Amino acid sequence: MFLTINSAPTTDQFTSTLQIQVFRPIYGTSYKSMLLDINDNDFSFSYTPSQTLDYSDNEYISNLTAVLAYYAYVVIGYDYDSFSLKGGSDYFSKAQNIINNAQSSSAQGWKANDGNKNRYWLMENIMNEIYEPIRVCNYKYHRLGLDVMSKETEKGRQSITDALKLLEALILRKPNSYSVKVFFDAKNQEIINLYKDDSVKDKQEMLDFLVKIDPGNGNRYNKIMQK
């Protein structure tokens, strides 16, 4: 977690940006795959030196500890999801509980009307059955794809392709979902590296597919065709 203090209007009030980067080790290699790369731009909190950081799963005490606990559960949930199918459900439920407790707070990022890319919408996507393909993709991409590639490169890459194709119907139905953006924010460069050594025909097919499902990174995916 990288915390950048943007301003301090008073001695104990802070506005900040919080970046969360998470890496997952890949079986049989020294490579670590980026699992999450989230920028939370709505993080304001109060803190005084030597203050005790109190937190409870059952109530909202402060924005500082609520945000840190929320992302701790999100990180563990995503990590568990990448090792077993929907393995992070218990941790996502805890993150959702923090969202519920924070509804009475005036702090930004906890409510549906605070924007469409915030803590509320990330957890809404994860807990909503409509978005189940993103969780299945997370598992198949990492456990059946990357973890296999050190011994069976083509088999692992095909599993990654199959995992990505799971997202197509979801994206057509929900083109601006936050969880999909979070996935591709973390994965676009890795995906480029995974396919740039494929045959020209396969690279072109994958390029066309990626531009279709992730147009925001369309220009970046052109690197797949570079030798």
- In tens, the pLDDT along 50-109 reads 899 999 999 999 999 999 999 999 999 999 999 999 999 999 999 999 999 999 999 999
Q: Is the pLDDT of residue 177 over 90?
A: yes
pTM (two decimals): 0.94
pLDDT value at residue 227 = 66
pLDDT (mean) for 182-196: 96
Q: Is the pLDDT of residue 26 over 70?
A: yes
- pLDDT digits over 96-149, tens only? 999 999 999 999 999 999 999 999 999 999 999 999 999 999 999 999 999 999
In the structure encoding, which two tokens stand for residue 200, read together? 């020209």
Q: What is the dihedral of CA 151, 208, 22, 38, to 10 degrees?
A: 180
Q: For residue 219, with 0-12 CB atoms within 10 Å meaning exposed, 13-18 middle and 19 or more buried, which class applies?
A: exposed
Q: Could you tell me whether strands 13-25 and 2-10 are parallel, antiparallel, or unpaired per DSSP bridges? A: antiparallel
CA 84 to CA 114: how far, in whole Å?
32
Question: What is the end-to-end Cα distance of the chain in Å, rounded?
Answer: 35
Structural domain boundaries in the chain:
2-127, 133-225
Strand order in the sheet with 13-25: 2-10, 13-25, 32-46
**DSSP 8-state code for residue 52:** -
pLDDT value at residue 56 = 95
pLDDT above 70 covers what percent of the chain?
A: 100
